[in-house]
Amino acid sequence: MVDDTGKEVGPNETGEIAVRSRFLSTGYWQRPELTREKFHSEPGTEEEQLYFTGDLGRMSKDGCLELLGRKDFEIKLRGSRVDVGETEAALGEHPGIKELAVVPKKLASGETLLVAYLVARDKSSAPTVTELRLFLKEKLPESMIPAAFVVLNKLPLLPTGKVDRQSLPEPERSRPELENPFVGAETFIQEKLAMIWAEVLNLDRVGIHDNFFDLGGHSLTASRIVSQVIKEFRLELSLRSLFQSPTVAAMAAIIDGHQDKDLPEGEMERILSEVESIREEEAQRLLSSDRKEPAKEIQLAVREQHSNERRQ
């Protein structure tokens, strides 16, 4: 196992699997550039070659090699470039995971999600989604954290021993396993919100204390939820105010405090139009914004977006 500089890494450290031998292939057929990239001769060992496989792995102290996935598997997800191999490597450092694969999955709705499939070391106590997200937040940006985690008894394999990514199942609509137990709606507002969340997040049910991001939510689904909430409750609220505490219970409390601020029909349609036209990067910025003028911040973001489009 070697790092990005070609230096050998220690036991239990993640690196690219490299094979050293005097009996390797002479290279790729009619692909000299790829041959130069993957095959190297080390000084003083001209008879041997080092082949960089492009696979990530780690070697335990007892000599057992664990395959963690591809190093060079990159995708573009909601405008951001995501290195799936880096996500796999980071997730593979969790002590409760034995095997894993991270793949992009396109849903029937057309949305693409990053899904992590894992085999737990202890099948009776697999790590929860909450635990895995907290673990990854210390290592990766939000865009590289999987939206869904699927626990399997074993990963499907190709005859070569590599993971058969095409055979990995679609993520189920069932609520993921979280740290907190499921708690159902207790009020009319909570019930309506739980239904909206479940529909947008494509889940069978949502508890009132479930964290929006633990359920696989991101800035674009946040925009969709805000749009549905404005339609249902006729309120002028920002993405930021609704997701300062991203649970159904917290959102219900905010809505309950705005019940006396009913929007005129024309104003509601204007705000809805602006919310629904916000792009991913603008929605992400609003979620992390500290500004306190909800209608104005959305309006300014949309105007800035349209201005950029005209300049292009």
Q: Which domains does the chain have, with CATH numbers?
A: 15-65 (2.30.38.10), 73-167 (3.30.300.30), 188-311 (1.10.1200.10)
What does the pLDDT read at residue 254? Answer: 83
d(CA 67, CA 193): 42
Q: Quick one: pLDDT at residue 45?
A: 60
| Amino acid 195: pLDDT | 95
Chain centre distance of CA 218: 9
Instruction: State pTM to two decimals.
Output: 0.58
The pLDDT value given to residue 300: 43
Distances (CA, A) of 94 to 2, 27, 136, 139, 143: 20, 36, 9, 11, 19
Q: How do the pLDDT tens digits run along the chain, 312 residues long? A: 888 777 888 888 888 888 888 777 778 777 787 788 788 876 666 677 888 887 878 888 888 988 776 665 666 676 666 778 888 889 999 999 999 999 888 766 667 788 999 999 987 788 888 899 999 989 888 778 898 899 999 999 888 788 888 889 888 788 888 888 999 999 999 999 999 999 988 889 999 999 888 888 877 788 888 888 888 887 766 666 666 668 999 989 888 876 656 666 666 666 666 656 656 566 666 555 543 444 444 344 444 444 554 444
Decide the pairing of beta strands 112-120 and 148-151.
parallel
Q: Is 207 helix (H, G, I), strand (E, B) or coil?
A: coil
User: For position 301, what pLDDT does the model report?
Assistant: 42
Stated as kind and residue range, the H or E segment containing 223 is helix 219-233
Report pLDDT for 286. 58
Q: Which residues contact 133 (CB under 8 A, 6 or more apart)?
A: 145, 213, 214
Q: Which residue has the tokens 């909800």?
A: 294
